[in-house]
Amino acid sequence: MAEQDAPQIYLVTPPEFDLGSFPEKLARVLEGEQIACLRLSLASHDEDRLTRAADSIRDVAHRADVALVIDTHVVLAQRLGLDGVHLLDGARSVRNARKELGADAIVGAYCGQSRHDGMNAGESGADYVSFGPVAGALGDGALAESDLFDWWSQMIELPVVAEGGLTEETVRALTPVTDFFSIGEEIWREEDPLAALRVLTAAMGR
């Protein structure tokens, strides 16, 4: 995942999807817009379910020349021949994932709202860090504010991803200060995911 002047799309699967129909829906989105990376992000932790889901979308992604990573599961990333892993525990697992997957794999880290975690992840070998949610926070209500992205874009070379609750307004505001937008439920909950994605890419000026 290379850093670019204009933000790129980091597409995330829904937390649950039908193995029969989703690959076709995914293919339409990958063919219709330029996607930098695809992340398998299921709510399930069942290895069989994750394996079958990965098998159902791997060829779709690779036909479109899009890298496929998986949440958390370093062992499954290896076993299934995926392109890397997206870690959800900040910097804690980055060093081990890099050691297990090798120098060529994609290793990314979600760091919530923590600048410190993001810097530690980078020092441990992450290819990118993601901060979020940027809007509509649940739980403790914490948000990754635009100031964090602004500081990161000026001070740190490591690519940064904005995710969580993206709207046209937040996309427009963060476009100058982020390298990637992580987009998932924002489009999959719509009847026409590709059209929904194009609304957001238009807000980026793409």
Secondary structure string (H, E, C) spanning the chain: CCCCCCCEEEEECCCCCCCCCHHHHHHHHHHHCCEEEEEECCCCCCHHHHHHHHHHHHHHHHHCCCEEEEECCHHHHHHCCCCEEEECCCCCCHHHHHHHHCCCCEEEEECCCCHHHHHHHHHCCCCEEEECCCCCCCCCCCCCCHHHHHHHHHHCCCCEEEECCCCHHHHHHHHHHCCEEEECHHHHCCCCHHHHHHHHHHHHCC
The number of domains in the chain is: 1
Provide the pLDDT for residue 206. Answer: 80
In a domain, 3, yes or no: no
CATH code of the domain in which 186 resides: 3.20.20.70
**Range with the lowest mean pLDDT among 105-114, 129-138, 183-192?**
129-138
Provide the pLDDT for residue 5. Answer: 73
Residue 178 burial (CB count, 10 A): 26
pLDDT tens sequence across 63-111: 999 999 999 999 999 999 999 999 999 999 999 999 999 999 999 999 9
In a domain, 183, yes or no: yes
In a domain, 175, yes or no: yes
Residue 116 burial (CB count, 10 A): 10
CA dihedral 135, 141, 70, 97 (to 10 degrees): 120
In a domain, 52, yes or no: yes
Mean pLDDT computed over 134-155: 89
Provide the pLDDT for residue 136. Answer: 80
For residue 140, name the pLDDT band (cuts at 50, 70, 90).
confident
Through-space distance between the first and last CA atoms of the chain, rounded to whole angstroms:
18
Provide the pLDDT for residue 3. Answer: 43
In a domain, 173, yes or no: yes
Mean pLDDT computed over 175-180: 97
Share of the chain above pLDDT 90, in %: 93
For residue 2, name the pLDDT band (cuts at 50, 70, 90).
very low
Expressed as residue numbers, the domain containing 100 is 8-204
Which pTM value belongs to this model? 0.94
In a domain, 99, yes or no: yes
In a domain, 2, yes or no: no
Q: Across all residues in the chain, what is the average pLDDT?
A: 95
In a domain, 136, yes or no: yes
